[in-house]
Amino acid sequence: MTSSRTKAEWQALDAAHFLHPFSDSQQIAARGTRLITRAEGIYLFDADGHRLLDGMSGLWCVALGYGRRELADAAFRQMNELPYYNSFFQCATPPAIELAAKLAEITPPQFQHVFFTGSGSEAIDTVIRLTRRYWELEGQPERNVIIGRWNGYHGSTIAGASLGGMKYMHTQGLLPMPGIAHIEQPYAFELGQGQTPAEFGLAQARLLEQKILELGPERVAAFIGEPVQGAGGVIIPPETYWPEIQRICDRYGILLVSDEVICGFGRTGQWFGCEHYGTRPDLMSMAKALSSGYLPIGGVMVGDRVANTLIAKGEEFAHGFTYSGHPVCSAVALENLRILERENVVAHVRDVAAPYLQGRWSQLADHPLVGEARGVGLLGALELVRSKHPRQWFEPRGKVGERCRDNAIQNGLVMRATRDTMIIAPPLVITRSEIDELVEKAWRTLDQTHAELRRDGLL
Ligand code: PXG
């Protein structure tokens, strides 16, 4: 397949026919799409045969790394046995049932039920439909506003993009939809100057209480947040933040939703991000590492509070997708979870990989371009700044991040840039020597970017 055309032919066909997510098509046509042709372990290989350390686990999903034969075998076996059947109208398939039971086992105890979807965005749509349905069944249909956060990311469907707080997404196509509100995020580097982390965490959490009072508590259905904001730039809340959010949700009786699409399945060193921060969510959206990204599958864990109401009323919940509980995706997800358990991957993150990565990553703060190096679990971010003291950002924001990302790729490392924040989220199975390689390549990339900026008179 990959050898049947030259790289130039692939790029020409790509430019002619393929509309890419979140990409400027003219830019792709001018530069040629970056073609990845195969992968092994934590490494990608491009069409020129260059080896890249995948510091982003694909798109925050390839927890087990590439080339896991067991996952391919699980798909092959299930495709031969039963490639598709639906879970509508009182039907089910064994892999979907097994996966539901396994998820009930590994998630916090309030979760005994799951609703399957094909992606994280569909999980978010499902969260909205579930929360509103819950309050309808509870006799409070006016409780329909869901509160999210600016710079949160919850996907790209109309509901996901609305609930997310990416303002540039809201500028396209009449977003956000009605019944959504946003509060400011716990982004200390940008917003917390002059406050201790503890003070800042409490202040940002109390914005939720202010918003609830402003809207009227009787109108608020739920609050949703990523334990650590991923796409927004690995925004790590102070330790005081989540306990205060939990207190506020409890006080006003509103549902707490933890969007675990990135943090779920070991990323923070716990199975779920809510366990890292000690919250007790009523709903949890998930996708990505549920199957290590090998096949598309997502879902919502439904806590007893919501499940009991939904089930007790004995009415149909008019929601679902053709691929809810797809048997092949479920079989692969199940095998993925079994490997995570068998190989103690979450404990490896908690006890070995995360402490080692965080120790090494924090050294990057010594680089003259880096205003902050932060991280938790196997997530890391670098804030690129023009000057550390006094703090000055680059203007316009985002250009230096993009340049740094391109340099990283030249240096054999995939990092992602959000504005001028460089991000990593490597596969959970990364070893210490691979972490050394990642950090050395990041350092070399920063040096190269720094030298270029001086050469170009931007520093
Ligand atoms: N919630 C969160 C927290 C996510 O990170 C979604 C929902 C939506 O999932 P789907 O499967 O519909 O994409 C996501 C997705 C980026 C990037 O650039 C992040 C995501 C997707 C694409 C790009 O960091 N996260």
Per-residue tokens: 248: 């506020």
Is 237 in a helix, a strand, or coil?
Answer: coil
Candidate from 258, 261, 283, 300 with most ligand 1 atoms within 8 A of CB, to mutate: 261
Contact 224, 103 (CB under 8 A): no
**Residue 294, C-beta contacts closer than 8 angstroms, at least 6 positions apart:** 62, 68, 71, 72, 75, 332, 336
As averages over each run of 10 residues, the pLDDT of the chain (459 residues) reads 82 96 92 96 96 98 98 98 96 98 98 98 98 98 98 98 97 96 98 96 98 98 98 98 98 98 98 98 98 98 98 91 98 98 98 98 98 98 96 94 97 97 98 98 98 95
Say how many Å lie between the CA of residue 232 and the centre of ligand 1. Answer: 10
Q: Tokens 């931007």, residue?
A: 458
Alpha-carbon gap, residue 124 to 135, rounded angstroms: 17
Q: What is the pLDDT of residue 4?
A: 86
**171: buried, middle or exposed (CB in 10 Å: 19+, 13-18, 0-12)?**
exposed
Q: Which of 427, 405, 411, 433 is CA-nearest to residue 50? A: 411
Per-residue tokens: 32: 């040629």
Ligand 1, pocket residues at CB < 6 Å: 59, 119-121, 124, 153-155, 160, 226, 230-231, 259, 261-262, 287, 298, 416
Say how many Å lie between the CA of residue 423 and the centre of ligand 1. Answer: 14
CATH topology of domain 34-67+344-455: Aspartate Aminotransferase, domain 1 (3.90.1150)
Ligand 1 atom with the smallest distance to the CA of 155 is: 8
Q: Which of 220, 208, 225, 257 is CA-nearest to residue 145? A: 220
Q: What is the pLDDT of residue 314?
A: 79
Pick the residue whose CA is nearest to atom 10 on ligand 1.
120
| Helix%, strand%, coil% for the chain, nearest 5 | 45, 15, 40
Alpha-carbon gap, residue 358 to 379, rounded angstroms: 9
pTM of the model: 0.98
Say how many Å lie between the CA of residue 261 and the centre of ligand 1. Answer: 7
40 backbone dihedrals φ, ψ, rounded to 5°: -150, 130
Candidate from 126, 228, 262 with most ligand 1 atoms within 8 A of CB, to mutate: 262
Candidate from 20, 23, 56, 59 with most ligand 1 atoms within 8 A of CB, to mutate: 59
CATH topology of domain 70-342: Aspartate Aminotransferase; domain 2 (3.40.640)
Pick the residue whose CA is nearest to atom 19 on ligand 1.
231
Write the DSSP string, 283-351.
EEEE-GGGTTTSS--EEEEEEHHHHHHHHHTT-------TTTT-HHHHHHHHHHHHHHHHTTHHHHIII
Say how many Å lie between the CA of residue 457 and the centre of ligand 1. Answer: 36
Say how many Å lie between the CA of residue 56 and the centre of ligand 1. Answer: 12
Pick the residue whose CA is nearest to atom 15 on ligand 1.
155
Report the first-to-last Cα separation within the chain, whole angstroms: 46
Q: Where are the domains of the chain?
A: 34-67+344-455, 70-342
Q: What is the pLDDT of residue 313?
A: 84
**What's the full length of the chain, in residues?**
459
Say how many Å lie between the CA of residue 390 and the centre of ligand 1. Answer: 34
